[in-house]
Amino acid sequence: MSGNLIYVSGPSGSGKDSLLRYAREQLSGHAEICFAHRYITRPADAGGENHVALSPEEFAARSNSDLFALNWASNGLQYGIGAEIDHWLDKGMTVVMNGSREYLPQARTLYPSLVPVEIAVPQAVLRERLLARGRETVEQVEQRLQRNHLLEQRAGKVEIIRNDGDLEQAGEALVSLILRCAEPS
């Protein structure tokens, strides 16, 4: 494969979806850059990222038919990245995807040259954001924060984008990284 795969991950509440939406809007005129949709077993109107909603049965059928290049389970849901990314990579495109930090080691095995990017925020900011959205109890938020700390320690070498200030500043950092990866070598 001659293209580049940019694997964006980070804890829930870090602002991944907002940053990916920002980058997609800023780079919409770049034909050599594609943003992969995730296929997820959650309703389309669940909020957050623009994704393709699948029932658990439909997800299993697609998985059994090898229609996912990458797929994993997290927080009671199934996530997949369509096999179309392999076609895009073969055409030399830069593909940006929303991944899972927990699945990163498997993704690195399948795509050894992928560029891992972590959206990072301080624990205090993350706690505040998670509590503000009101989806989880205080205990569940604390469990997420503990999991985040463990995953940060296991990440290995990754590009870090800090998202604890202005969204535009972190968004421009992501756009810049994507553009650098898309440059012909």
Q: Is 45 annotated as a binding residue?
A: no
Q: Residue 63 is encoded by which pair of tokens? A: 């998985």
For residue 143, the domain's CATH number is: 3.40.50.300
Q: Is 74 annotated as a binding residue?
A: no
How many separate domains does the chain show? 1
Residues 89-112: tens digit of each pLDDT: 999 999 999 999 889 999 999 999
Q: Is 43 annotated as a binding residue?
A: no
Domain assignment present for residue 146? The answer is yes
Q: Give the model's pLDDT for residue 158.
A: 83
Parent domain of 25: 4-178
DSSP state of 69: E
Q: Is 11 annotated as a binding residue?
A: yes
Q: Is 29 annotated as a binding residue?
A: no
Mean pLDDT value across the chain: 88
Query: Do residues 162 and 122 lie in contact, with contact meaning Cβ atoms separated by under 8 Å?
Result: no
Assign residue 38 a region: left if phi > 0, alpha if psi is -120 to 50, beta otherwise? beta
pLDDT at residue 66 is higher than 80:
yes
Q: Is 28 annotated as a binding residue?
A: no
Q: Is 165 annotated as a binding residue?
A: no
Helices 16-26 and 167-182: angle between axes, nearest 10 degrees: 60
Burial class of residue 36 in the structure, from the number of CB atoms within 10 Å of its CB (0-12 exposed, 13-18 middle, 19+ buried): buried
